[in-house]
Structure 1
């Protein structure tokens, strides 16, 4: 299985997120999966790429030209897919993957999560996003989604498109159930 991983490219974040990301990378390789990621050499993006690559797994980096020009490409990228911009990156990452896992991240990660979920709601694909809720990182987003659901702003159930996992065991169970 090819797993797209959306996540932060920032370094100055909770150090536990790096440890948990390394553990996820090891699990991915142990289970014979590969990753599709942003290919950047910063933050959790570098961490997931490096952990998968060093454990012998395949890493596919979908890398916008601006990242290449800025010298921010991870040395852990096995396959480099160049793209023009962030919109292309999202489209290519989705096309190259079977499922998406969102680690803690910022505005870009939220954009990626909701692009995948929104395109699922109208039938472009049936891929889901798993929010890896490390240390409750996504609790406020989950509360917002529940509030939007209760106000009738979401067709169906948001959990049809976005699932929540608090640990790797829960990620594994979600993947097995789809």
Structure 2
């Protein structure tokens, strides 16, 4: 099956429902036979995601910069943990190692990763499926803003169309699986 990179929050102060969403996402990836590619952290949603995948028998690949290893937040239980020199190197390696991308709720780091893969797709540097999970309308304000950018021609509609939006993780995984070539 596919190596699916999941972007999500690594905050230690999140509401339990977000941790449960991440753990269930990891479990669903594993049950469908996919490898989880993550940011290699063991905290917040990122840690719950990897734990959920492993608990369901899935394989995990973490990619983390040395600076975060030094802060002792590396997912040392990963089946494979790749350590990079920088955050930029981390994103590049995550893109190279993944067949598709799924974005769960998150903050600046999550958005940075989403926009990196989305921008490189608009430049035709890859054609890998990208799905944003808009749980409970989490991303609705951002999606409305992006639609306004397209209306003002700052963003081409074709670029906007590269990112699929799903309300649930099963819907997101179905979309990814239907788009994998």
Task: Output the CA distance in 1 between the equivalents of 2:85 and 2:173.
Answer: 33
Comparing 42-51 with 66-75, greater Cα deviation is found at: 66-75
Q: Which runs of 5+ in 2 are unaligned?
A: none
SS in structure 2 at match of 1:157:
helix
TM-score normalized with structure 1 length: 0.94
Q: Report what 2:43 is aligned to.
A: 42
Question: Runs of at least 4 residues of structure 1 off by over 4 A?
Answer: none
TM-score normalized with structure 2 length: 0.93
SS in structure 1 at match of 2:36:
strand
| Per-residue deviation, 1:108 | 1.0
SS in structure 2 at match of 1:90:
helix
Task: Output the CA distance in 1 between the equivalents of 2:42 and 2:30.
Answer: 20
| Per-residue deviation, 1:142 | 0.7
Task: Output the CA distance in 1 between the equivalents of 2:24 and 2:174.
Answer: 16
| Per-residue deviation, 1:137 | 1.0
Q: Contact between 2:65 and 2:85, CA under 8 Å: does it hold in 1?
A: yes
Q: Contact between 2:27 and 2:55, CA under 8 Å: does it hold in 1?
A: no
| Per-residue deviation, 1:4 | 0.5
Q: Report what 1:77 is aligned to.
A: 78
Q: Contact between 1:145 and 1:158, CA under 8 Å: does it hold in 2?
A: no
Task: Output the CA distance in 2 between the equivalents of 1:160 and 1:81.
Answer: 32
Question: Using a 3 Å threshold, how does the CA distance of structure 1 residues 81 and 134 change in structure 2: closer, same or farther?
Answer: same
SS in structure 2 at match of 1:145:
helix
State the aligned residue count. Answer: 178
